[in-house]
């Protein structure tokens, strides 16, 4: 990471955020605690809790505004461990910089070690590895996102959602402790300089796993809209099993026959659906749009947004959408790091899925379970062995070449503006 450029980027966004907060919409989509209960979607699990001390109770006591945040708090839950700050300091060697895994809008993420039974701190390399996410001090976003994360991940359990082990709220700091995902984020694998290219079958597996995670959320009784589907929120374990992380922006979906909920426009520019940016109307199908963008990133190896690309190519969707329906054009935008090693028929079908996901009218986008079904069919398409041996190295097109040269200056850092406010009007 080239530090000075990063700082310039943050500065730009801070200015922008101040300009656009005035455009945000009033949030009206919250639901009450008992609407969490009695959900039993396939495979996943929803914890219910009938005693009085639930996550949502804590959220209720902590509807504190940024100026009125209690310095510490407690959430009684059978599913999550409440860590002390001291324990988490021990776990991460006092949040030592060399144990940092990454940084996002909420704060920094550190690797630590805990005992596998008690989850008490353990020596590095013993017990199980965890990822500890620590809020930026005084971040007005911190408490809200922290509550939402605990609220959702404390309730939902599914193989394609990252496991939340526990949390800590002390000294005005909010921390979250997750299972450690050995292979980091999809974003790093697709775009980090020097990253080993992901082969086609792994990309498809990741897409299928992520689709399973979204299907689970959407099909729960009170559907959950994830709202922040993007490559950095898809984490990979040792076997490239993909799990969704970051539920800080998740919302319960429409109820009483309504088609959408209305919320303040939040999310990440480049992935957020156009109707949501324009109106604040959030549909279950808004997640489907984000899914299409990530699938397009996986096919092309290009970021959803990159200000370093030539004008007209900055926004991947705008630039690539016309190539999705034409085999010749599609070939040209496929990630050269795939080295032509993919079944063309599978790429064509994946491109069709993307095209449908990116429909501007939400109801014209397919449902996640339909997408999952189609992706599994795509996965069954094997490369023609004759063609496999003939595959040659493709020359990167200009855009792809440029991204490889400059991806460290990626505008994806736009999302790290402390608020993750989407940018209305840019579409
Ligand atoms: N459970 C985890 N295991 C391993 N690495 C993780 C884990 N959680 C996060 N990380 C690493 O930390 C990075 C930062 O994560 P974080 O979710 O805070 O930010 P982000 O997703 O990059 O941005 P945003 O705040 O907009 O979501 C991730 O990209 C990933 O590399
Ligand atoms: Mg994230």
319: tokens are: 């630039």
Q: Within a domain: residue 414?
A: no
| Predicted TM-score (pTM) of this structure | 0.79
Provide the pLDDT for residue 39: 26
Q: How far is the CA of 147 from the centre of ligand 2 (A)?
A: 15
Annotated catalytic residue: which of 138, 209, 228, 405?
Answer: 228
* Protein residue closest via CA to atom 16 of ligand 1: 104
Mean pLDDT, range 363-381, rounded to an integer: 97
- Max avg pLDDT among 144-153, 154-163, 234-243: 234-243
pLDDT at 291 over 80: yes
Interval 43-77: pLDDT, tens: 444 443 333 333 333 333 333 333 455 565 544 45
Give the number of the atom of ligand 1 that is nearest the alpha carbon of residue 420: 26
d(CA 188, CA 323): 25
Q: Could you tell me if residue 413 is inside a domain?
A: no
pLDDT digits (tens, 9 = 90+) for 72-104: 554 445 678 999 999 999 999 999 999 999 998
Here the CATH number for the domain that contains residue 288 is 1.10.510.10
Question: β-strand 281-282 against 107-114: which pairing, if any?
Answer: unpaired
pLDDT category, 113, cuts 50, 70, 90? Answer: very high
pLDDT at 206 over 50: yes
Percent of the chain clearing pLDDT 90 (strictly above):
56
Question: In the predicted model, is pLDDT for residue 134 greater than 50?
Answer: yes
- Domains in the chain: how many in total? 2
Categorise residue 426: left if φ over 0, alpha if ψ from -120 to 50, beta otherwise.
alpha
Res. 412: pLDDT tops 50: no
Task: Identify which ligand lies nearest to the alpha carbon of 249.
Answer: 1
Within a domain: residue 427? no
- Residue range(s) defining the domain that contains residue 334: 184-401
Phi, psi of 82 (to 5 degrees): -95, 110
Residue with the two structure tokens 């801070």? 14
Greater model confidence, 8 or 270: 270
Higher pLDDT, 46 or 14: 46
What per-residue confidence (pLDDT) applies to 388? 54
User: Cα–Cα distance between 37 and 415 in angstroms, integer?
Assistant: 33
Using the mean position of ligand 1's atoms as its centre, give its distance from the Cα of residue 288 in Å: 21
Residue 418's Cβ-side half-sphere holds a number of Cα atoms within 13 Å equal to 16
Residues 382 and 239 in one domain: yes
Clarify whether residues 174 and 317 are in a common domain.
no
Q: Which residues contact 290 (CB under 8 A, 6 or more apart)?
A: 226, 228, 229, 230, 267, 271, 272, 273
The reply to whether 36 falls in a domain is yes
Q: Give the position, in ligand 1's atom list, of the atom nearest the Cα of 268.
A: 26
Q: Work out the end-to-end distance of the chain between its first and last CA atoms, rounded to an integer number of angstroms.
A: 28
Ligand 1 mean position to 233 CA, how many Å?
6
Residue scoring higher pLDDT (261 or 210) = 210
Shortest-distance atom of ligand 1 to CA 180 = 3
Does 171 lie in the same domain as 192? no
228 flagged as catalytic: yes
| 75 is a domain residue | yes
**Ramachandran quadrant class, 301 (left: phi over 0; alpha: psi -120 to 50; beta: rest):** left
**Residues contributing to the annotated binding site for ATP:** 134
Residue nearest to atom 19 of ligand 1 (CA): 104
* Helix (H) or strand (E) segment spanning residue 180: none
């Amino acid at each position: 990471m080239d530090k000075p450029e990063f700082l310039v980027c943050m500065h730009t966004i801070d200015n922008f955020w101040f300009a656009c907060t005035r455009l945000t919409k009033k949030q009206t989509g919250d639901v009450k605690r008992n609407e969490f209960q009695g959900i039993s979607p396939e495979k996943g699990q929803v914890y219910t809790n009938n005693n009085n001390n639930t996550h949502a109770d804590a959220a209720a006591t902590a509807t504190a505004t940024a100026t009125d945040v209690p310095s510490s708090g407690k959430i009684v839950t059978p599913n999550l461990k409440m860590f002390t700050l001291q324990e988490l300091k021990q776990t991460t060697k006092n949040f030592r910089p060399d144990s940092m895994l990454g940084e996002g809008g909420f704060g920094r993420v550190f690797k630590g070690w805990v005992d596998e039974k008690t989850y008490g701190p353990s020596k590095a390399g013993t017990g199980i590895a965890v990822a500890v996410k620590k809020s930026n001090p005084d971040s007005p976003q911190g408490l809200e996102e922290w509550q939402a994360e605990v609220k959702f991940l404390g309730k939902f359990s599914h193989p394609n959602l990252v496991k939340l082990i526990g949390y800590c709220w002390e000294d005005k700091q909010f921390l979250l402790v997750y299972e450690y995902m050995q292979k980091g984020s999809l974003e790093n694998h697709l775009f980090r300089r020097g990253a080993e290219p992901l082969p086609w079958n792994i990309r498809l597996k990741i897409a299928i796993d992520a689709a399973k995670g979204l299907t689970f959320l959407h099909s729960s009784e009170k559907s959950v809209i994830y709202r922040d589907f993007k490559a950095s929120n898809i984490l990979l374990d040792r076997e490239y099993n993909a799990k969704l992380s970051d539920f800080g922006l998740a919302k319960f979906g429409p109820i009483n026959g309504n088609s959408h909920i209305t919320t303040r426009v939040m999310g990440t520019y480049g992935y957020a659906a156009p109707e949501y940016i324009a109106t604040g109307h959030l549909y279950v199908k808004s997640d489907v749009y984000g899914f299409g963008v990530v699938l397009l990133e996986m096919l092309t190896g290009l970021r959803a947004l990159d200000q370093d690309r030539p004008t007209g190519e900055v926004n991947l969707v705008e630039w690539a959408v016309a190539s999705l329906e034409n085999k010749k054009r599609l070939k040209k935008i496929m990630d050269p790091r795939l080295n032509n090693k993919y079944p063309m028929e599978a790429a064509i079908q994946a491109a069709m899925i993307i095209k449908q996901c990116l429909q501007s009218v939400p109801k014209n986008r397919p449902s996640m379970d339909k997408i999952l079904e189609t992706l599994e069919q795509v996965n069954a398409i094997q490369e023609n062995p004759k063609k496999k041996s003939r595959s040659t190295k493709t020359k990167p097109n200009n855009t792809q070449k440029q991204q490889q040269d400059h991806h460290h200056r990626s505008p994806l850092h736009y999302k790290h503006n402390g608020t993750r406010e989407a940018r209305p009007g840019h579409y």
